[in-house]
Structures are given as structure tokens and as C-alpha cells.
Structure 1
Amino acid sequence: MNFLAHLYLSGNNTNIMIGNFIADHVKGNKFSHYHQDIQKGILLHREIDTYTDAHEIVRKSKRRLHERYRHYDGVIIDIFYDHFLAKNWKNYSQIPLNIYVDSVYKLLQENIDILPEKTQEMLPFMIQYNWLYNYQFAKGIQEVLSGMNRRTNGKSHMNLATEDLLENYQIFENDFTTFFEDLYTFSNQKISEIS
């Protein structure tokens, strides 16, 4: 899953949200200096990623993609799934998406000093281009995928993945909806175990 889903699956604990958000920029077990709940968020993020990668529906979604993406297929599906979460946000939260993402940006800016360096470098771009809100639009997804393709020097071809999304849009959306129910249950169970 990508940023929006990881944040949403953290529940209402802001420190778990921070940990879940920064986890990709935290290597190995070098996070004992963080608040205990931030550590839990990092561990939750890793559990979510492991569960997602092993889930049969996610594997089916990856197989629906053109083979040109090779090992980037998982990243693309993560972004597609964040698109469907943002697009259907009202089905998952009573807080409007624009208000939710503004509160997330505020939280992260208030805690900028404790974020890993890579997260600190990324955050201004995320806020400037409002990634979390714009995931709901095909144009927003295209911009994210094009940016990621540039970071791979064009090797990933992720800039072409919007074609795959539009070609099988309803199928990908059905995959997401079914999978996300399972993931939501799994994440809540993990939060209760680590709390």
C-alpha cells in the first residue's frame, strides 16, 4: 500500500501514523530512539507490506499489468490502490478527504525534526503537489507515476501505467475493494496486538 492507505490504517494514534508514514525511510532495526508508538507504527507498516505482498488479490492485480514494468509492478499497484481509496474516501471515513490530508500535513510539519532525512526532503513536494488529495484523480496518479519513472531514469516505464489503469479500471477497483476489507481487518488486529 502507498502513503494514504498506510496513514488511514494507523487509526487515530498520531504517533503510529508518523511511524507508519516514515517506515520506508527507516532501515533495519535502527528506530529505538523513537517514541514507543512511532516504533509500533514502523512495525505496523512492515506487517501491512508483508500481508499485502502475499495476498492473492494483490498478486492478481500485478498480473493484470503489462509485463514491461517487471519488479515495479508492486509499486504501481500500491499507487492504484491509493487512487481507489482516495476516490472512494467517503466509504471509509466520515472526515472529508481534504480535511484529513490537511491534518496529516500539519502533523508531519509539526514533527519535521524527528522525521528521517529522506522523509524531510520528500514532504515539501508532497504538500506542494498535494499528493494525498490528488491521488483520487487520474491526472494526480499520472503525475506521481511520471515522477517515479524519472527517479528510475525511465527504466520502470511507470509513466505508462495509467494506460493499464484505464484499460481495466473496474477490475482494478473491484480488486482493491475486496482486498482492502481484508487489509483493514488485518491492520486493526495488528494494532490491537501491539497496543
Structure 2
Amino acid sequence: MNYLAHAWLARHSDDAILGALLGDFVFGQSALADWPPAVRAEIVRHRRIDRYTDDHPAVVATRMRFGDLRRYAGIVLDVYFDHCLARDWARWDATPLDAFTGRIYRILDERRGRLPPRLAALAPRMAAHDWLGSYARRESVDAAVRGISTRLSRNGDRLVACLERLRTDEAHVQAAFAAFFPDLLRAADELRQAPPGA
């Protein structure tokens, strides 16, 4: 769900950005064979970045603060962390946010014939409504989470309930991002240097 952060961590090439976005849409080892090596390597890195994120102490502690909703909190945190990245974009990148999101939308459009069906269906809406750039606005977090809740097979209401917990604990979630994101940048660099099968 944190498409902006994954794409930004893969900004060194268009193939890498595509692979970073495909990480939530390509499943299993056998499906990797359908993609060229540069794309495949970034799909694998996406999975490793997700594991690193899920296991980071600041993220684990923040999920626990959601109590009985912690199972759904990871989705909300992914979206909120994209908001934190977009809101303070100039701190992280000299390229304007709209230029970077435009690059993402172009990549998806140019390769739409190869995209998995679910991403192929999402990509035009993502671009038309500038989902990634809109994360700079706080209200887009709630809108995105509500949208995701309608695509869950069950318990969408539990995901929406996380929004109230997020509002009451937002200062802590911002502090968790500040603690976690620099660590993620270092880990992502190390993952990029590691051989794809390592």
C-alpha cells in the first residue's frame, strides 16, 4: 500500500520502480520468472523491505498501540508513512514531488500491457487522481484507507476504525516514522548491494 515509498527507494531506474510497484501484485517464486532481471530483483527487494518494515522495533511498538486493531494497523501505517514522506518531500529529494509521481505514472502507462490485471485496473485511476502526490495532504490518508477498506474481502470496518486510533496517537506515529525511516534508507541501500538471491 505504501507505493510512494517503495517507488522512491527504487528511483535509480524505471525498471526498478516498476519492480517496486509490482511487489504487491506478483506473488510466489514462480511468478518472478515472468519479469526481466532488473524488475525481478526489485520485486524481491520490495518483499524484503516489507519484512524489514514489519519487524522494525518502532513499527512493531506503534502497531501494538492500536490494541485489538493492530492486525489492521500495518495498512494504516503504510499509508500514513507515505503521507510523512510526501509531506516533507523536500527533506528527502531535490526533485519536486509532482515530477517524481509523474515519472511513476508514465512508467505504469508505458508498460500497462504487461501489468498484472489488478495493477492495470488501478494505474489509470492512480494517475488521474494523483494518488501518490495527494499523500502530501493529511486528509488523503483517511480517503486512501477508506478506499482500501472497500477492497478487503472482510473486516473493512476494522480498518476504518484504525483511523480514530491514528488521530488520537498521531504525534507518536510521526515520531515512529522519524525513528524508522532513516533506518529503512540504510537497510534499503544494503539490500540493493546484496545479490538478488542473498
**TM class, shorter-chain normalised?**
over 0.9
**1:59-113 CA deviation, whole Å, 9 max, x = no partner?**
011112252x342121111111111111111111001111110111011111111
Q: Does 1:107 align with 2:107?
A: yes
**CA 1:191–1:117 in structure 2 vs 1: closer, same or farther (change >3 Å)?**
same
**CA 1:161–1:168 in structure 2 vs 1: closer, same or farther (change >3 Å)?**
same
Secondary structure at 1:12 match in 2:
coil
Corresponding residue number in structure 1 for 2:137: 137
Corresponding residue number in structure 2 for 1:65: 66
Matches within 5 A, 1:1-195: 2-29=2-29, 30-67=31-68, 69-152=69-152, 155-156=155-156, 157-194=158-195
Tell me, in whole angstroms, the C-alpha distance in 1 between the residues paired with 2:149 and 2:104: 26
Deviation at 1:159, TM superposition (A): 2.5
What TM-score does the superposition give when structure 1 sets the normalisation length? 0.92
CA contact (8 A) 2:16 2:38 kept: yes
Flag structure 1 segments of 5+ consecutive residues without an equivalent: none
Deviation at 1:27, TM superposition (A): 1.4
**1:102-136 CA deviation, whole Å, 9 max, x = no partner?**
11101111111121111101112211221101112
CA contact (8 A) 2:63 2:70 kept: no
What TM-score does the superposition give when structure 2 sets the normalisation length? 0.91
Tell me, in whole angstroms, the C-alpha distance in 2 between the residues paired with 1:42 and 1:99: 23
CA contact (8 A) 2:101 2:132 kept: yes
CA contact (8 A) 1:19 1:41 kept: yes
Tell me, in whole angstroms, the C-alpha distance in 2 between the residues paired with 1:165 and 1:97: 25
Secondary structure at 2:139 match in 1:
helix
Secondary structure at 2:24 match in 1:
helix
CA contact (8 A) 1:15 1:38 kept: yes
Identity of aligned residues (%): 26
CA contact (8 A) 1:3 1:132 kept: yes
Flag structure 2 segments of 5+ consecutive residues without an equivalent: none
Tell me, in whole angstroms, the C-alpha distance in 2 between the residues paired with 1:171 and 1:142: 17
**CA 1:58–1:40 in structure 2 vs 1: closer, same or farther (change >3 Å)?**
same
Root mean square deviation of aligned Cα: 1.7
Tell me, in whole angstroms, the C-alpha distance in 2 between the residues paired with 1:11 and 1:93: 11
Deviation at 1:185, TM superposition (A): 0.4
Tell me, in whole angstroms, the C-alpha distance in 2 between the residues paired with 1:133 and 1:23: 20
CA contact (8 A) 2:76 2:163 kept: no
